[in-house]
Chains A and B, each alone.
Chain A
Amino acid sequence: MTEGVRLIIVGFGVVARSLAGSLEARGEEFRRTHGIDFHLVAAVDSKSAAVDRNGLEVRELLRRKEETGRVGRRSLPVSEVIEDTEADVLVELTPGNPLDAEPGMTHLKSAIKASKHIVTANKMPLAHEYTSLVASAESRGVQLRYSACVGAGLPILDFGDACAVSEPVQKVEGVLNATSNFVLSRMESDGSSFPEALEEAKKLGYAESNPWLDVDGVDSAAKIVIIANHIMKKSLTLKDVAIVEGIRRISPTRVKALMEEGKKVRMVACVERRPEVRVLELPRDDPLSVVGACNVVRFHCKYSGERVVSGSAAGGVTTSSAVMRDLLRVGDSIRAG
């Protein structure tokens, strides 16, 4: 027996489109391997919405979005779509505003109110109101999954979960912003200045046109909040993080001098008691001294010592693979009743 799982996708950008396309292509595989039959019943972008309770034609939807820039012909209030469409899961993939976490925050609250499970890659709502969102989801019997929020496709939260099963994790530290790490690596490899390296990152598609959330440490701060709350059971918010220093003022001279001493500078987010984001000078062979557009996290476990996970952590397809992982887990549990 296959279980039908109906999805609403809100935000139809890079991550969402690659998710929709691969769910469609791999639909048969998931029916076979998980006994789950995904149907997309609603899709929403910033200007329009498409709703069909019998399941939208995904190829047609992707084509329309590509050609017209819109998923649907009309615009509908997003909260209404989330609350009134018969569906099992909200997939929230809008960009999050760092000041108030909107529009994602409202979307998540609507879904919880309507008892719909949630899978999201948007870190801002969780960085702002992790504790209350998790509590209210739990009280309504709603699953809230967010592994794509940290590490894109790299399963950092799952790895941390495993570390924390049998012992407390006492400290977590990591390089959580791939764009910044690319920029620093670039400065090391050819002596370029910060603006030059950032320009290069934009050209190669690692950095967005407005990369300040990345290089000033806000994105890392949001992620360390989620890790601390999820793995260490804290109840932090973005405001609790001391963002000591981003990477924008790092000079090529400093990078060069450190290299000569066998050191590297890295933007590290850390939580033991108080969470913080700062620029650290690390030995070249420290596991946190990773190179390129990637993430690395070190979990300090009470009895077994340090555990490190690292890997590349950028791009729409990798991120959508984490969303897909969460969706299958939600599907599995629905199927298990």
Chain B
Amino acid sequence: MKVVMKFGGSLLASPGGIQRVSRVISKGSKKRMKVVVVISALGEVTDLLLHAATNAKIWDSTQVIHFIDRIRGIHSQPLAEMGLRQPTYNESLDQLEELLDDLKLTLSGVSILRELTPRSKDLLLSFGERLSLVVVSAGLRQAGIAVEALTGGNAGIITDDSFGEASPDVTKTRKGVREKLLPLLTRGVVPVVAGFIARSATGEMTTLGRGGSDYTATLLADAIAADEVWIWTDVDGILTADPRIVKSARVIDELSYAEAEEMGFFGAKNMHPLALAPARKAGIPVRIRNGFKPERLGTLINPHERKSSVIAKSVALVGNVGIVTVSGETLVGRPGTAAKIFELLGRAGVNVLMISQSVSESNISAVVRKSSLERAASALSEGLSQVGINAGVKVEPDVSVLAVVGAGMKGTPGIAAKVFSAVASKGVNVMMIAQGSSELNISFVVASRDSEKAVNALHESVVLGK
């Protein structure tokens, strides 16, 4: 059995975490599993690098040096604490210094040019996983595991050069990954691959976008025809709701790719939007498991949509959103206005989470992230007047989206009404409602002050079925 295991940064943040990872791998190997490991950056390192990405333009050389010291500390502390043997210890420190030198050059470049191109941002962010690779592979070697450390590019993941969110070239990647990884697996070596980063056909460092390590895992799994992908995190799996808001939230044992993707879209799991696609196409099951409690099975995402008695599997709450509403008599009966609105928002780089048209057709509302609300409003008022549509544009900042997801809703008559009444019975006013095209979700908008009450009501009635 071939398994690709991805370990998240919170599991790698301490030497104990790395030991835990090594036990999981050793256990797999004892059961004759062939394991490919994908790792993220340690702990908070990605956040630190993002911080540098926004600030390095105004840094002087001292600030660059201090930042490097900080990054050095985060990686040299676990290397020291692991009690490594020689020559591994010194070799790892040397590799660390080499990468830190490169990182310093990159940052100095940004601070001298006072500019961060997407290309150098990708290079900058790639250091998180590359540094992590040094620490984690040293730890696994110390635990007696034969490993080969590889960056995503060295493992064979080839992308186009859209820096920041590069798209893999599936054919080249399949070929490259197979050629690199299969011989290692045959020899009993565990490939340890730095997630999130890849390489363009011309050899430049690219990244797969935030949350890209999961994507790395499924891409590798597809290429080597793995039997399963295990995503090890610090939570028990995918939950029915956010446990900080809903006390009765629990782990979902099983769900389909379609359901999982729908939840990912609503920010349920910080999942890369495309992360599941390779596994889905290849029909490879994905498990989300808790690295701190490896005895638990977690959530299984599989190809089949099982019939289940519950209507919905989860309720997500998306805060920090706002509504922008376009209204005016001239909208009535004018076909294509909704499409025009989509287009204008798209051109302004605004991501539309939901759109709905009122019955009278005299207004159309779009839900967008709060951070892009102002941008959305001005794009619409300018853009519409240019094409001769005379419309008022209004924004409402303090709202939240509730998204109910589950295959049980497909073709169940009266579902919207049931969902609606669950909320209405708590005296919450629903401002907008929309059913996703896949029919796997119904989402609606309420005032932010009502959102927690509404989530709890929905969880009770449509997820737990009480």
Contacts and interface: CB of A to CB of B under 8 A. Distances in A.
B119 to A, nearest CB: 25
Interface stretch (A80-88, A311-319, A326-334): A311-319
Interface in A185-207: 185, 189-190, 203-206
Residue with the highest number of chain A CB atoms closer than 10 Å, among B44, B66, B67: B66
Interface string A62-99: 11001100000000000000000000000000000000
Interface in A262-301: 290-294
B19 interface: yes
A25 B16 contact: no
B77 A26 contact: no
Contacts of B51: 204
Interface in B66-90: 66-67, 69-70, 72-74, 76-77, 79-86, 89-90
A221 B15 CA distance: 35
Given A66-B15, A66-B19, A291-B60, A315 B69 contact: yes
B83 A25 contact: yes
A288 to B, nearest CB: 13
Contacts of A292: 62-63, 65-67
Given A189-B55, A312-B69, A316-B73, A21 B63 contact: no
Contact of A25 (B47, B58, B84): B84
A62 B83 contact: yes
Interface stretch (A12-20, A110-118, A135-143, A250-258): A12-20
Interface in B143-179: none
Contacts of B16: 66-67
Contacts of A293: 66, 69-70
B77 A317 contact: yes
B14 interface: yes
B81 A18 contact: yes
Contacts of B69: 293, 312, 314-315, 318
B48 interface: yes
A22 interface: yes
Given A66-B14, A312-B69, A59 B83 contact: yes
A304 to B, nearest CB: 25
Interface string B254-285: 00000000000000000000000000000000
B193 to A, nearest CB: 25
A189 B66 CA distance: 15
B62 A205 contact: no
B80 A17 contact: yes
A28 interface: yes
Nearest to A20: B83
Given A292-B62, A315-B70, A25 B85 contact: yes
A251 B19 CA distance: 46
A24 interface: yes
A320 interface: yes
Contact of A22 (B15, B47, B80): B80
A26 B74 CA distance: 20
Interface string B47-61: 110010001001010
Nearest to B43: A205
Given A26-B89, A291-B60, A204 B70 contact: yes
A58 interface: yes
Contacts of A291: 60, 62-63, 66
Contacts of A29: 86
B83 A24 contact: yes
A254 B402 CA distance: 44
A320 B80 contact: yes
Given A66-B19, A293-B70, A318-B73, A312 B65 contact: yes
A58 B90 CA distance: 18
B97 to A, nearest CB: 13
B81 A17 contact: yes
B64 to A, nearest CB: 9
Interface in A9-59: 14, 17-22, 24-26, 28-29, 58-59
15 contacts: A18-B77, A20-B83, A21-B79, A25-B89, A26-B86, A26-B89, A59-B83, A185-B63, A205-B70, A206-B70, A292-B62, A292-B65, A315-B70, A315-B73, A317-B77
Given A22-B80, A294-B62, 7 more contacts: A21-B82, A25-B83, A66-B15, A204-B48, A204-B70, A291-B62, A317-B77
